[in-house]
Amino acid sequence: MDAKVTLSFDKSAIDSAKQFAESHNISLSRLTEFLYRQIASKNYKSLEELPVADWVHQIAEGEIEYKKSSKSMKKVFYESRKK
């Protein structure tokens, strides 16, 4: 049974991910599901160990920087979305 999830991403990241998914004959929803299953199926100790790291680097523009979430970062994110 499928469940609906609403996520918000940078438009360029979504556009790149859609192109990637289309080139592999898979929907963006199924690609996202696959990535979540990969993450949840193993006991990773850090974000760098995730199997999606290479894929993220392929579609990203520039270097990726992981930041731990905090209340202040959450506020910065939501403020940036209002603009």
Q: What is the pLDDT of residues 33-78, one digit of tens each?
A: 888 887 787 777 776 776 665 666 666 655 556 565 556 666 766 7
Give, rounded to a whole angstrom, the gap between the first and last alpha carbons of the chain: 37
Whole-structure pTM value: 0.52
Domain carrying residue 38: 1-62
The pLDDT assigned to 43 comes to 77
d(CA 12, CA 15): 5
Tokens 């360029």 -> residue: 12
Query: How many domains, the chain?
Result: 1
75 in any annotated domain: no
Question: What integer is the mean pLDDT of 18-31?
Answer: 90
78 in any annotated domain: no
CB under 8 A, 24+ apart: contacts of 40-43: none
82 in any annotated domain: no
Which residues fall within 8 angstroms of residue 16, CB to CB, at 6 or more apart? 59, 60
* Helix (H) or strand (E) run with residue 29 in it: helix 28-40
